[in-house]
């Protein structure tokens, strides 16, 4: 098998020295300064890419905000339903606690009315008895004064 040797460093140096310097300057200037058409195309494509990137960012931001709004609305709805359930449960608990108290209060009010009616009856009976006694005393006093005359 034939042996292949790699070029030595000195051969590369020799090749670079042997190159035409005007040719290398021309290539360098061509690479660094693109033509006007290429420059316009490059700026237009970069601008288009930037605009597309901005639109994608806006779209993603809008989607994220929409998702946040949907999640927020769902959470608020859940909280509203939980609040209504808690409110209903509280009202039922309060009614269950207050029902016996209200029944007792109504019974006490009925008893008070009965006692008040009984007191009124007793007062009217005493007043009638007192007036009857006063009337009898007046008749007796009149009869005595008529007898003394």
- Rounded Cα distance between 27 and 20, Å, is 11
Q: For 60-112, what is each residue's pLDDT tens digit?
A: 999 999 999 999 999 999 999 999 999 999 999 999 999 999 999 999 999 99
Q: For 7-55, what is each residue's pLDDT tens digit?
A: 555 555 555 555 555 555 555 555 555 556 666 667 888 888 999 999 9
- Rounded Cα distance between 14 and 8, Å, is 10
Query: What is this structure's pTM?
Result: 0.44
Domain boundary assignment for the chain: 43-148
Residue 146: its pLDDT value, please? 87
- Rounded Cα distance between 136 and 62, Å, is 104
- Rounded Cα distance between 9 and 98, Å, is 105
> Which pairs with CB-CB distance under 8 Å and at least 24 residues apart come from 28-31?
none
CB–CB of 42/34 below 8 Å? yes
Residue 45: its pLDDT value, please? 85
């Amino acid at each position: 098998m034939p042996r292949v040797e790699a070029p030595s460093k000195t051969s590369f140096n020799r090749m670079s020295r042997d190159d035409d310097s005007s040719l290398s300057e021309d290539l360098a200037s061509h690479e660094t300064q693109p033509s006007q058409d290429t420059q316009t195309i490059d700026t237009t494509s970069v601008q288009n890419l930037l605009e597309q990137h901005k639109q994608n960012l806006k779209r993603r931001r809008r989607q994220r905000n929409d998702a946040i709004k949907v999640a927020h609305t769902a959470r608020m709805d859940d909280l509203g339903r939980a609040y209504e359930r808690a409110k209903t449960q509280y009202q039922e608990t309060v009614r269950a606690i207050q029902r016996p108290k209200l029944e007792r209060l109504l019974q006490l009010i009925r008893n008070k009315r009965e006692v008040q009616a009984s007191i009124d009856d007793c007062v009217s009976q005493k007043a009638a008895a007192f007036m009857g006694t006063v009337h009898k005393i007046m008749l007796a006093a009149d009869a005595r004064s008529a007898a003394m005359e």
